[in-house]
Structure 1
């Protein structure tokens, strides 16, 4: 279990929607996070960060290709 760096108690796992706006589309991705029940501190595990990074990169590549095709 992940420990809160401020309260020194265990943090619970929860999900949080993250919204990415890429004109003209919007992507909402559910991300698993750890949240402290006492102070509300939130942290994103490394594997979730990597998952979101891959999603953003793939959307950027797709958007870049479609822009090139339209020109």
Structure 2
């Protein structure tokens, strides 16, 4: 059992954490390079947010949404108007 646990430890320390160790070394040289992946993810999120807002505006301009106070059944008994 001890050998199995040491195998798991070795797997994580020698194989799976290698990219994290490389990022830790890179961070000492260049903070921006070490965080480049984070910047890419923030850019993707920003583009997705802008796309979503454009889609919402398009549907809002077409008046496709039912904006009655009782538009949904869980808001009251007489939801169907």
Category of TM-score, reference length = shorter chain: 0.3 to 0.5
Normalized per residue, the structure richer in helix is: 2
> Between Structure 1 and Structure 2, which shows a larger proportion of strand residues?
1
TM-score by length of structure 1 reads 0.41
TM-score normalized by the length of structure 2: 0.36
Larger Rg: 2
Which gives a bigger RCO, structure 1 or 2 (Cα 8 Å, sep 6+)? 1
